[in-house]
Structure 1
Amino acid sequence: MKRVKSALVLVSLALFLFSGCYGKFQLTKELYQWNGSLGGRAANSAVMWIMMIVPVYAAVGAVDFFIFNTIEFWTGSNPITMGEFEHQETIVVKDTETYKIAASQNRMDISLLSGPRTGQTVSLVYNAAEESWYAQDKTGSIKVAEVREDNVLEIFNPDGSSFVYNTETGAIGCMAK
């Protein structure tokens, strides 16, 4: 179980590392459009200033960048833009291993189709109530990322330590177990 969880977390972290693509930033766009629909220019401006000071825009932008654009990079579709019953799959080949990545709203399933661990599957599932992402396999689930109230996106490592990104200051760091 520990080895599987370590592998799952490493795959999850690798997905975050490949988030350098330029995506739609759909969540950020939807927040901006909502802000623009509140009323007149003064109301829109006041709400924008509040959301900049409280760093709502920074938090939403970080989640868009680290989570949703990564999923969009691998699957070609952003789960924010996906409807409840939409589903998209893509095949990724890396060296001797072939993976199937299936994305739907708030979920991404990664299955190994060929290679030494053929048949192994992991799912990344978003829990909206907790604002957290979980890696799940047949042995259980483990939290791999969460958006905290203190403007921090925290990504968990297999050893219990975590990588954090402060959406307010832009600071990046590691936290001990």
Structure 2
Amino acid sequence: MKLTALCAVLGGSLLCSSCIGSFSAWNRLKDWNMGIGHKAVNEIVFIAFHIIPVYEVAYLADVLVLNSIEFWSGSNPLADVGTDKVIQGENGEYLVRTNEDGYTITKMGETDRPLDLVYNEENRTWNAVAEGQTFELMTMNEDGSVTYKEQNGEKVTVMPR
């Protein structure tokens, strides 16, 4: 009886924690499966990974361990630090490198002028750093809202939905 009550309380606390997390392990596994080839091969791997509970173990690891670490530490233990992605933008292609504290964005062919987007954990701000100058872009407030400056200098606070 006590064990059942304890399990119910712990299960309920997971549902009420408001921490959804990024589910990095499960998403990486799913993305890997989707990228291995033909859709028939993907389906066979999908079914096999449910028979041998690979998806279930990855999901459980995310729910019980990785998302909890992400919630309490503020960082994702499986973040792709040091990886590069090429993104097609409105004005060409950009190379985006993931850093521990943000991102470095470089327009392809212009390697001498990178833009760093840096998160300052102490001040809870996202900053743009370019050509030796730092500009505060936004502040992540305690109540979940975000404050930013418009071009005219006016501060605007936006609440999440």
Higher relative contact order at CA 8 Å, sep ≥6: structure 1 or structure 2?
1
Question: Rg: which structure is higher?
Answer: 2
